[in-house]
C-alpha cells in the first residue's frame, strides 16, 4: 500500500478514483516515481507506470495532460 495525503491505495491500482482530489493525489504520487533530470524512453515510462496501473499509455497521457510529466519525441521527463 502507498500513502498520500492521508489516503491509502493498493498497488497495482485496478481503477483510478473518479473523485478529482483522490485522483490528483495518485497522479502526483506516480509523477514522483519519475526521477528529476532523467529522460525516459516511452517504453521505460510505460514500464514505470505499469508497476502501479495496468493501462500505462492512458495514464501516461493523463500525467502529460495534467502537466506532471512532459514529453517530446518519444522521451518523457518529470516536470519541475
Q: Where are the domains of the chain?
A: 2-78
11 vs 70, which has greater pLDDT?
70
Taking only the tens place, the pLDDT of each residue in 9-66 is 567 888 888 999 999 999 999 999 999 999 999 999 999 999 999 999 999 999 999 9
pTM: 0.84
Give the total residue count for the chain. Answer: 80
Above 70 in pLDDT, residue 1? no
Do residues 35 and 78 make contact, with C-beta atoms less than 8 angstroms apart? yes
pLDDT band at 79 (very low <50, low <70, confident <90, very high): very high
12: left (phi over 0), alpha (psi -120 to 50) or beta: beta
Amino acid at each position: 500500500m502507498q500513502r498520500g495525503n492521508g489516503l491509502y491505495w493498493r498497488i497495482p491500482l485496478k481503477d483510478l478514483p473518479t473523485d478529482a482530489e483522490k485522483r490528483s493525489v495518485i497522479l502526483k504520487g506516480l509523477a514522483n516515481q519519475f526521477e528529476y533530470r532523467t529522460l525516459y524512453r516511452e517504453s521505460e515510462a510505460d514500464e514505470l507506470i505499469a508497476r502501479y496501473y495496468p493501462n500505462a499509455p492512458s495514464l501516461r497521457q493523463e500525467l502529460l495532460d495534467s502537466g506532471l510529466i512532459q514529453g517530446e519525441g518519444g522521451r518523457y521527463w518529470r516536470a519541475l
